[in-house]
Amino acid sequence: MPAVVETIAGLRSQLRIAAAEAATASSPQPLVALVPTMGALHDGHLALVQRAQESAAIVVVSIFINPLQFGSSEDLDRYPRTVDTDVECLRAAGVQFVFAPTIADMYPTGPTQTRVVAGDIGAVLEGNSRPGHFDGMLTVVSKLLNIVTPDIVVFGEKDAQQAFLVKRMVADLDIDVVVETVPTIREDDGLALSSRNRFLDGNQRTAATALPRALEAAASSAGAGTDAALSAARSVLEAEPAVELDYLAIVDPETFLAVDAEHRGPALVLVAARVGTTRLIDNHAIHLG
């Protein structure tokens, strides 16, 4: 059974003990990996856990629904809370530590006045649709990194803009941690695994597969350039009336800036849409010819 720790002091204490017990002559300081989550775990999260276990001797999975990254009109109260099921899932996966702090422990005096600001890239795409989201995300990630002090932190590639911004924060602030990313895990129908998929009914679930199909269409047309890739993806999305498109964009993965019509080489096509009341995101690496 993993140790479920709810306080910052308690986690730090238990990690010191675990590190001492795991130390050997050849590895006096065992590597620690952190997998930050908001719970409602699925196979996508378990892929992150597996990468962490392959990379480090001690694995910490955090479960914390961070209020700072939800806007006033977003689904904080609706977000699934399944801690008992999550802990059992992590037990079966062999995780040593689950860090499940309360809001009061993470923010003892209320929402923290000191924030990490995501900058210009934090205000586009997801940041434009969810103002302040990335500031809240980076703030809690920086707190978790300071609490756990891991050698490695693992994120999923489905949240591509999040992973980009975490990597940039780590570089900009000289945080001594390696950021690893894991490819998106998909359902048999191509839909990217997400904690929000459970809110889709049968018809909505079928409609939602338009997102991965649109990305595949973009990839298939990428040899003809940016405009052709976008047009191919947009055609798939427009053919599904239940999908309300938020954005469709192609960016340079090195800068996360939108590419122009002359761009050639690696790129990332991103999509966000609402199906019913559920907002979904997805992305696909492509090569523009």
Whether 7 and 131 share a structural domain: yes
Residue 21, in any domain of the structure: yes
Angle at 285 between CA 75 and CA 59, to 5 degrees: 60
Whether 227 and 203 share a structural domain: yes
DSSP letter (8 states) at residue 183: P
Domain boundary among 182, 207, 231: 182
For residues 53 and 59, the answer to whether their CB atoms sit within 8 Å is yes
Packing angle of the helix pair 83-93, 43-55 (nearest 10 deg) = 40
At residue 69, the 3 state secondary structure works out as helix
User: Which residues, other chains included, contact 26 with Cβ-Cβ below 8 Å and sequence gap of 6+?
Assistant: none
Annotated catalytic residue, options 42, 45, 133, 263: 45
pLDDT at 77: 78
| Count of the separate structural domains present in the chain | 2
Q: pLDDT tens digits for the chain (289 residues)?
A: 799 999 999 999 999 999 999 888 777 889 999 999 999 999 999 999 999 999 999 999 999 999 999 886 666 777 888 999 999 999 999 999 999 999 999 999 998 999 999 999 999 999 999 999 999 999 999 999 999 999 999 999 999 999 999 999 999 999 999 999 999 999 999 999 999 999 999 999 999 999 999 999 999 999 999 999 999 999 999 999 999 999 999 999 999 999 999 999 999 999 999 999 999 999 999 999 9
User: Which residues, other chains included, contact 59 with Cβ-Cβ below 8 Å and sequence gap of 6+?
Assistant: 32, 33, 34, 35, 49, 52, 53, 95, 96, 97
Residue 202, in any domain of the structure: yes
**Largest Cα–Cα distance of the chain, in whole Å?**
62
Domain boundary among 134, 151, 182: 182
Domain boundary among 182, 206, 236: 182
45 catalytic per annotation: yes
Whether 174 and 212 share a structural domain: no
- Taking the CA atoms of residue 254, residue 160, residue 287 and residue 245 in that order, the dihedral angle to the nearest 10 degrees is -130
Whether 109 and 210 share a structural domain: no
Whether 201 and 141 share a structural domain: no
pLDDT at 72: 67
What tokens appear for 134 in the block?
A: 């990335």
User: Which residues, other chains included, contact 68 with Cβ-Cβ below 8 Å and sequence gap of 6+?
Assistant: 107, 111, 112, 115, 132, 135, 136, 137, 139, 140
pLDDT at 141: 98
DSSP letter (8 states) at residue 185: P
| Predicted TM-score of the model (pTM) | 0.95
Question: What does each C-alpha distance from 211 to 156, 189, 214, 229, 266 come to in angstroms?
Answer: 18, 11, 5, 14, 20
Residue 288, in any domain of the structure: no
Write down the residue that tokens 């696909």 correspond to. 284
Residue 9, in any domain of the structure: yes
Residue 151, in any domain of the structure: yes
pLDDT at 245: 98
CATH of the domain at 81: 3.40.50.620
pLDDT at 76: 79
Q: What is the 3-state secondary structure (H, E, C) of 232-280?
A: HHHHHHHCCCCEEEEEEEEECCCCCCECCCCCCEEEEEEEEEEECCEEE
- Burial of residue 140 (CB within 10 Å: 0-12, 13-18, 19+) is buried
Whether 27 and 89 share a structural domain: yes
Whether 165 and 217 share a structural domain: no
Residue 110, in any domain of the structure: yes
- Domain range for residue 250? 195-281
